């Protein structure tokens, strides 16, 4: 029986992780649940999974849970999230955004197995996360479907920058293309929030759904792949694959390509991450080969979807540039969700923020928090001026 700490339990990945745990109560025990504000959802989760500890990042939400569940430990506040790592065997980081960074770092520094959905922590904190990964017994098992696919194609091999694999020619990340695939720049000027929130193949939280519509999600995943597998940016490529059946591929130096395929269901990479290095029966993700009539691949449109290009540029710059990219994107997406800017303004705002990048080195943890803070300040100033 493995004890699991699930952070971000009330979101899309959190709820799907609990589906997997519910189907495998003989293997996994939920020891800790953590979330932000969603009191109603977590109440039901506590009643069903009976965790020892619950953490609410929001203090008011924490107070409500504490009053109702006197028999369990309830902590609240953003800083309390780090306490979640504790004595659990696996930490699932399913928090959205930069707020997930302290948990990623604490889990790795304590030598835990980290099932990582929160890509933003790896992107923003790259060089510092790399150091934390060196801790004895620390391990990241990616939950993102593309990186789970790469992890599977590479049989779990995760390289570091000091020791890159000599046998990989390229990593090929697949992208569904999002709801606006094929639209021209002129057509993209008119897209609405409702349209951007309608993803053709995946049902996800609002932030990643918008990121998918701009292809920033794929850009972030390029940086995530670089950080996880130590492959240079020139050897990480993106192909659009609208069916979302092939989740990513590795081409080796002998021109052989290994791909991972399944139906688009996040419970499959979650099952893989929780059971790694073993495989477990899964009721999700099985392909009906009589219904799959075509698998298409095409080039992404870097001009209409400038976020992808911006992510490659920030990744190549390195140091705290990806933290700036991530912060600028979080501010832009939030502003779009609040109807403060248009969809087409998202890449412009991010590009304007990156033009102000101060070149700060990522030497210690605080450099990442400062970079994030500075980039958000710059983004808000630029928005106020417009
Ligand atoms: N959804 C997917 O299919 C998918 C696929 C691949 C990767 N991912 C990645 O997985 C992560 C989660 O995505 P999601 O779609 O599940 O997001 P989501 O549905 O928006 O859920 C986010 C979760 O994070 C919690 N949260 C938000 N802010 C927090 C804070 N400051 N402190 C603590 N908890 C906080 C939320 O709690 P409350 O709601 O209670 O406030 C919620 O439980 C993201 O990094 C995303 O890129 C998601």
Take atom 10 of ligand 1 and give the residue whose Cα is closest.
117
Distance in Å, CA 317 to ligand 1 centroid? 27
Question: What CATH number has the domain bearing residue 69?
Answer: 3.40.50.720
In a domain, 259, yes or no: no
Residue-level pLDDT at 84: 83
Residue-level pLDDT at 86: 83
pLDDT in tens, 281-319: 999 989 999 999 999 999 999 999 999 999 999 999 999
Residue-level pLDDT at 157: 62
Measured from the CB, is residue 61 less than 6 Å from ligand 1?
Answer: no
In a domain, 39, yes or no: yes
Q: What domain range is 100 assigned to?
A: 2-142
Measured from the CB, is residue 202 less than 6 Å from ligand 1?
Answer: yes
In a domain, 44, yes or no: yes
What distances in angstroms separate CA 349 from CA 279, 284, 309, 314, 341, one per listed residue?
43, 39, 14, 14, 10
Distance of alpha carbon 95 from alpha carbon 73, whole angstroms: 20
Phi, psi for 134 (deg, rounded to 5): -75, -10
DSSP states of 232-265: -GGGEEEEE-TT--EEEEEEETTS-EEEEE--S-
**How far is C-alpha 18 from the geometric centre of its chain's CA atoms?**
18
Distance in Å, CA 354 to ligand 1 centroid? 25
Measured from the CB, is residue 64 less than 6 Å from ligand 1?
Answer: no
Distance of alpha carbon 135 from alpha carbon 225, whole angstroms: 20
**Taking the model in full, what pTM does it have?**
0.96
In a domain, 89, yes or no: yes
Measured from the CB, is residue 94 less than 6 Å from ligand 1?
Answer: yes
Measured from the CB, is residue 14 less than 6 Å from ligand 1?
Answer: yes
Take atom 17 of ligand 1 and give the residue whose Cα is closest.
205
In a domain, 297, yes or no: no
Measured from the CB, is residue 208 less than 6 Å from ligand 1?
Answer: yes
Measured from the CB, is residue 88 less than 6 Å from ligand 1?
Answer: no
Residue-level pLDDT at 158: 62
Q: Which atom of ligand 1 is nearest to the CA of 120?
A: 45
Measured from the CB, is residue 8 less than 6 Å from ligand 1?
Answer: yes
In a domain, 356, yes or no: no
Six token digits for residue 276: 């790694």
Measured from the CB, is residue 38 less than 6 Å from ligand 1?
Answer: yes
Domain count, the chain: 1
Residue-level pLDDT at 64: 96
Residue-level pLDDT at 159: 61
In a domain, 367, yes or no: no
In a domain, 79, yes or no: yes
Distance of alpha carbon 56 from alpha carbon 41, whole angstroms: 12
Distance in Å, CA 166 to ligand 1 centroid? 35
Q: Find the helix packing angle between 145-153 and 216-229, rounded to 10°.
A: 30
Measured from the CB, is residue 205 less than 6 Å from ligand 1?
Answer: yes
Residues of the chain short of pLDDT 70, as ranges, are 156-164
Distance in Å, CA 330 to ligand 1 centroid? 13
């Amino acid at each position: 029986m493995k004890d699991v700490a699930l952070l971000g339990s009330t979101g899309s990945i959190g709820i799907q992780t609990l589906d997997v745990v519910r189907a495998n109560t003989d293997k996994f025990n939920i020891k800790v649940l953590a979330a932000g504000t969603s009191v109603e959802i977590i109440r039901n989760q506590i009643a069903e999974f009976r965790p020892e500890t619950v953490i609410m990042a929001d203090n008011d939400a924490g107070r409500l849970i504490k009053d109702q569940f006197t028999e369990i430990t309830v902590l609240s506040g953003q800083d309390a999230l780090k306490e979640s790592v504790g004595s659990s065997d696996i930490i699932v980081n399913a928090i959205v955004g930069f707020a997930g960074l302290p948990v990623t770092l604490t889990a790795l520094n304590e030598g835990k197995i980290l099932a990582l959905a929160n890509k933003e922590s790896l992107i923003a904190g790259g060089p510092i996360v790399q150091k934390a990964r060196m801790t004895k017994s620390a391990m990241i098992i990616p939950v993102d479907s593309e990186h789970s696919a790469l992890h599977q194609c590479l049989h779990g091999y995760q390289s570091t920058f000091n020791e890159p694999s000599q046998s990989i020619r390229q990593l090929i990340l697949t992208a569904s293309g999002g709801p606006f695939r094929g639209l021209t720049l002129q057509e993209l000027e008119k897209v609405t929030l409702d349209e951007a929130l309608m993803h053709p193949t995946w049902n996800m939280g609002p932030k990643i759904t918008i990121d998918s519509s701009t292809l920033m999600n794929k850009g972030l995943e390029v940086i995530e792949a670089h950080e996880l597998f130590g492959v240079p940016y020139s050897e990480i490529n993106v192909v659009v694959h609208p069916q979302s059946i092939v989740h990513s591929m590795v081409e080796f130096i002998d021109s052989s390509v290994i791909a991972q395929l399944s139906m688009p269901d996040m419970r499959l990479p979650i099952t893989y991450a929780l059971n790694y290095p073993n495989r477990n029966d899964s009721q999700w993700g099985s392909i009906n080969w009589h219904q799959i009539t075509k698998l298409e691949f095409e080039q992404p449109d870097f001009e209409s979807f400038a976020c992808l290009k911006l992510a490659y540029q920030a990744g190549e710059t390195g140091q705290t540039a990806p933290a700036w990219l991530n912060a600028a994107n979080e501010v832009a997406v939030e502003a779009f969700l609040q109807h403060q800017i248009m969809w087409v303004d998202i890449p412009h705002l991010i590009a304007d923020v990156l033009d102000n990048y101060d070149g700060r080195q990522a030497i210690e943890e605080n450099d990442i928090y400062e970079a994030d803070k500075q980039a958000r300040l710059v983004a808000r100033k630029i928005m106020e001026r417009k």
